[in-house]
């Protein structure tokens, strides 16, 4: 089971999903031997094709987000009051062109 989670985590890193990769690497030790999660993953003939590691990670996102919102409510409320700068790449296009 470790190999499946690590392989999916490596794929996630390659595709830029580093948060999911970190979650997969931290999630595996939390799955108790002989638990429903462990039995389901170990019982799969094709755990990578079934995307079981990613299904585990997907199931974790709602509880994690609930925890983040409850623990960091003040920070998030202040953060969303700031206007995001979404066009930084476009603004830097001239600088990027000048460096090449």
Number of domains into which the chain is organized = 1
pLDDT in tens, 15-29: 999 988 998 898 878
How many angstroms separate the Cα of 4 from the Cα of each of 11, 23, 80? 11, 14, 37
pTM, entire model: 0.58
Averaged confidence pLDDT in the chain: 80
Quickly state the pLDDT bin for 98 (edges 50, 70, 90): low
User: Helix 2-14 vs helix 52-71: angle between axes, to the nearest 10 degrees?
Assistant: 70
Cβ(17)–Cβ(53) under 8 Å? no
* Structural domain span for residue 79: 2-98
Q: Which residues contact 12 (CB under 8 A, 6 or more apart)?
A: 18, 20, 21, 24
């Amino acid at each position: 089971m470790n190999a499946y989670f690590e392989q999916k985590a490596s794929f996630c890193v390659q595709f830029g999903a580093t948060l999911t990769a970190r979650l997969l690497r931290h999630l595996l030790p939390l799955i108790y031997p002989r638990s429903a999660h462990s039995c389901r993953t170990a019982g799969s003939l094709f755990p990578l094709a079934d995307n079981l590691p990613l299904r585990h990670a997907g199931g974790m996102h709602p509880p994690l987000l609930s925890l983040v919102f409850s623990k960091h409510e003040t920070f998030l409320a202040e953060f969303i009051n700031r206007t995001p700068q979404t066009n930084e790449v476009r603004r830097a296009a001239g600088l990027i062109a000048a460096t090449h």
